[in-house]
Amino acid sequence: MPVGEGLALYSAALEAGRLGLPLLEVGTYCGRSAILLADAARASGVVALTVDHHRGSEEQQPGWEYHDPETVDPEIGLMDTLPTFRRTLHRAGLEEHIVALVGRSPQVAKVWGSPLGLVFVDGGHTDEHANADYEGWAPHIAAGGLLVIHDVFPDPADEFTGQAPYRVYLRALASGAFTETAATDSLRVLRRTGAGI
Catalytic amino acids? 125
Give the number of other Cβ atoms within 10 Å of residue 158's Cβ. 10
First CA to last CA distance, the chain: 28
| The residue type at 154 | P
Sheet holding 178-184, edge to edge: 98-102, 48-52, 23-26, 116-121, 141-149, 187-192, 178-184
DSSP state of 170: H
